[in-house]
Chains A and B, each alone.
Chain A
Amino acid sequence: MKEKKTQNFWECCMVHKCEKPGCDNYEARRDLIQKIIDGQANPEEQKMYSEVIEHCLNCKCREYCEQELAIKNLLQTKLDRKRVPLDILEKIKSEISKPI
């Protein structure tokens, strides 16, 4: 029963390679992929994802997921992280030390 449910969920990917317009499961699948990308999928959702999409090499949803992960990685690794200027830090500390 559960296997059938999973199969239906990914039918568009497996049978139509995501080319089917207006796929009924698109929103649910997109929600799942977003949770995977953000590390917020529960174990059952992770299993559902890996069981099908890992074996679907030409799937556009997989391509989309990989793009999103690459962009997330870019944001985490290639943007400069500034340190707060020391004078601002001192100013804040000094201000809150003043008696009210």
Chain B
Amino acid sequence: MEDVKSSYSEEQKHRIFESEFLPHIDAMYNFAFRITNDEDLAKDLLQDTFYKSFRFIESFHTGTNAKAWLFRILKNSFINEFRKKSKEPSMVDYQDVETYYSHENVNEIISSDLKVEVLQGMIGDEVSNALNALAVDFRIVIILCDIEGFTYEEMSKILDIPIGTVRSRLHRARNLLREKLRVYAKSVGFK
């Protein structure tokens, strides 16, 4: 939360909540569901986020990016309170990520035999399963960038990490997702 506070009347708070926060509720519910993999937990996480957003509404400045502000609260709630409850034991050792990133070479990345036509023929469940099979920290960057369309800078603020780390994590996440899709395509006979 930012230190500089605005002062809103009760009426203004409710108006901001209705007009700036609630329009993002579906996107946030989908984000909560994708990171918890559990419908009940996603509902709890969503409610918790919206209650906090209202409680700390003085820290929000109208005209700034409400969606990024809300996603940041949701992500922090997930990490601090919900992660241990979810069925997601996987945490990422970022040192490993950075080590992998710095040793990657071009051939490793572009040798995948996954054809664009095969990708285009995939159905939603296959894509969803591949995404869900990623460790949650990698899933989060893919959702924020590819599904929700946040910029690297916005993601950096939501995740509290430098832009360079956002980009390297995204790069790694995409390689892992592509590999999951390739293995799936091969298992069902695509060549």
Contact = CB atoms under 8 A, between A and B. Distances in A.
Interface of A: 12, 18-19, 21-23, 26, 30-31, 34, 38, 40, 60-61, 63-64, 66-68, 70-76, 78-85, 88-89, 91-92, 95-97
A89 to B, nearest CB: 7
29 contacts: A21-B105, A21-B106, A26-B105, A30-B106, A40-B152, A60-B106, A64-B110, A66-B116, A67-B112, A67-B114, A67-B178, A71-B119, A71-B181, A75-B127, A75-B147, A76-B147, A79-B124, A79-B127, A79-B128, A80-B124, A80-B128, A83-B26, A84-B26, A85-B43, A88-B43, A92-B46, A92-B51, A96-B14, A96-B17
Contacts of A85: 43
Given A72-B146, A88-B43, 17 more contacts: A21-B107, A22-B105, A23-B106, A30-B106, A63-B110, A64-B109, A64-B112, A66-B116, A67-B112, A71-B174, A71-B178, A76-B147, A78-B123, A79-B128, A82-B29, A88-B46, A92-B51
A92 B47 contact: yes
A72 B146 CA distance: 6
- Secondary structure at the A interface, as helix, strand, loop or mixed, is helix
